[in-house]
Amino acid sequence: MKVLTQNLKTGQTDILEVPSPEINSDKIRVLNEYSLISTGTESSIVNFGKASWINKAKQQPDRVKDVINKIKSSGISETYRAIKNKLDYPMVMGYSAVGTVSHTNKNYNLPKGTRVFTNSFHQEEALVDYNMCVKIPDNLDNKSASFGAIGGIAMQSIKCVPEGSKIIALIGLGLLGQVTLRILNALGYQCIVYDLDLKKVELAEKYGAIGIRRNNITEMVLNYTQGKGCDCTIIAAASLSSKIVNDATSYTKRKGKIISSGLIGLNLIRDKFFKKQIELVVS
């Protein structure tokens, strides 16, 4: 079978031919038909792979500290081998797929041919834990069902929104951000949104959002909220920089909450959170 992999050392994406998974009594074997591409998350992984060693280190300063600690405990040679092995080993990608059960497992009520949503990688066949395998309703097509993981991530972040909140700042309008926005709107929240891509902002505006078209998020949010700040900020962006989350403290209200559902840097400036008693949740 074929599986999509990413080389973190060179940034090269390959489709590898690997053996099909064997039947396992504890898992469900699924023949995939659709696999969702999460452009923000997967692009950031590809860009990380293409970066130089120095830029890799800049993007992940916490990992640099881990490397230094390992050098102290294991020596330079052992640390170098560990890093090389990690970067040389192909990384499988993807986490949201739809397929059909290809083998009846008598331990679970999912007979062969059942359409299911799973957390599978980009691969033709997969062995999936039963609790990560959901039967798809008859009135839902496979292509739409493949967005299940994105909807789940969006819902998880929205569950963290403080009770009584009315105004939400949503940063990052990729696939995850757009889905999050639609759900927030359906729940009656007023959303102020920003993305580097103006077309994504314009798309969000069509669904009732207040778009920020220049990089003046703090000014716009404070003007709209009469200086109070938004009740909650949801960051659905993909960036290894920590500037996004630290800047969010300037337009989130005192005792508000910042929720990170995207892949962002988390080197926090403690003073910014401490002074306004802002809570951070990584969902």
**Number of residues assigned to the chain:** 283
Strands (E), 41-129: 91-92, 97-101, 115-118, 125-129
User: Among residues 102, 119, 146, which one ends one of the domains?
Assistant: 146
Same domain, 88 and 175: no
User: Among residues 115, 146, 177, which one ends one of the domains?
Assistant: 146
Torsion of CA 73, 75, 79, 82, to 10 degrees: -90
Same domain, 116 and 133: yes
Same domain, 228 and 206: yes
Same domain, 271 and 212: yes
Are 71 and 79 in contact by the 8 Å Cβ rule? The answer is yes
Same domain, 44 and 89: yes
Burial category of 70 from C-beta neighbours within 10 Å (exposed 0-12, middle 13-18, buried 19 and up): middle
Same domain, 6 and 142: yes
Residue 25: its pLDDT value, please? 77
Same domain, 53 and 137: yes
Same domain, 142 and 7: yes
User: Among residues 146, 168, 191, which one ends one of the domains?
Assistant: 146
Are 251 and 221 in contact by the 8 Å Cβ rule? The answer is yes
- What is the distance in angstroms between the CA of the first residue and the CA of the last residue of the chain? 33
The span from the CA of 170 to the CA of 173, in Å, is 8
Same domain, 161 and 273: yes
From first to last of its 283 residues, the chain has per-residue pLDDT tens of: 888 888 777 778 888 888 888 888 788 999 999 998 876 666 666 666 566 656 656 666 666 667 677 666 777 777 767 666 666 677 788 889 999 999 888 888 889 999 999 999 899 999 998 888 999 999 999 999 999 999 999 999 999 999 999 999 999 999 899 999 999 999 999 999 999 999 999 999 999 999 998 889 999 999 999 999 999 999 999 887 889 999 999 999 999 999 999 888 888 999 999 999 999 999 8
Strands (E), the chain: 2-6, 13-17, 27-35, 91-92, 97-101, 115-118, 125-129, 133-135, 167-171, 190-194, 210-212, 230-235, 238-239, 252-260, 263-264, 279-282
Q: Which domain holds residue 198?
A: 150-282
The b-or-e profile of 147-181 (16+ CB within 10 A means b, else e) is bbbbbebbeebbebbeeebebbbbbbbbbbbbbbb
Same domain, 78 and 180: no
Residue 21: its pLDDT value, please? 85
Residue 215: its pLDDT value, please? 84
* Number of structural domains the chain divides into: 2
CATH code assigned at 227: 3.40.50.720
Residue 256: its pLDDT value, please? 97
Residue 70: its pLDDT value, please? 64
Sign of CA dihedral 150, 152, 155, 156: negative
CATH code assigned at 135: 3.90.180.10
Same domain, 230 and 263: yes
Single out the residue of 201, 131, 202, 151 nearest to residue 173, CA to CA.
Answer: 201
Phi, psi of 277 (to 5 degrees): 55, 45
Same domain, 245 and 159: yes
